[in-house]
């Protein structure tokens, strides 16, 4: 029995997210990111990441489990990664513009 299930999974490949789910999350991300990207690029990433993660988590938990018990953990985990990306972009931008002395930031930036 287990072998049949494994063979079926290998033939079909990994499960795909429904197209409307992906579209909804990306649309929320784009609606928030676009107006902020020129003036506040780091904050645009954080805000759009948060909006996209909320929509993505709402849809995922509703479709997969039928309830929203784990929404806080889902959103926080995704939001933390957006904040990390924003901090890295901000650091790179500061180095490029000369706002930070080159000695205080590693040479890889």
> Cβ of 1: how many Cβ atoms within 10 Å?
5
Which value, to the nearest 10 degrees, does the dihedral of the CA atoms of residues 52, 53, 56, 62 take? -140
pLDDT recorded at residue 89: 85
pLDDT recorded at residue 16: 59
C-beta of residue 71 within 8 angstroms of C-beta of residue 26: no
What is the dihedral sign for C-alpha 62, 26, 31, 50?
positive
> Cβ of 78: how many Cβ atoms within 10 Å?
16
DSSP label of 37:
T
pLDDT recorded at residue 107: 56
pLDDT recorded at residue 11: 56
Tell me the C-alpha distance between 29 and 8, whole Å. Answer: 34
pLDDT recorded at residue 31: 92
Q: Which residues of the chain have pLDDT under 50?
A: 6, 14, 109
pLDDT recorded at residue 105: 52
Q: pLDDT of 54-83, one tens digit each?
A: 988 898 888 888 888 889 998 888 888 878
């Amino acid at each position: 029995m287990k072998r049949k299930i494994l063979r079926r999974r290998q033939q079909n490949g990994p499960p795909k997210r429904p197209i409307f789910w992906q579209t909804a999350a990306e649309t929320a991300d784009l609606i928030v990111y676009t107006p902020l990207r020129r003036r506040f690029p780091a904050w645009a990433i954080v805000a759009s990441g948060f909006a996209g993660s909320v929509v993505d988590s709402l849809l995922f938990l509703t479709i997969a489990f039928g309830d929203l018990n784990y929404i806080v953990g889902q959103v926080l985990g995704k939001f933390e990664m957006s904040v990390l990306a924003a901090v890295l972009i901000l650091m790179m931008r500061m180095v490029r513009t000369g706002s930070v002395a080159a000695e205080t930031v590693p040479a890889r930036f």
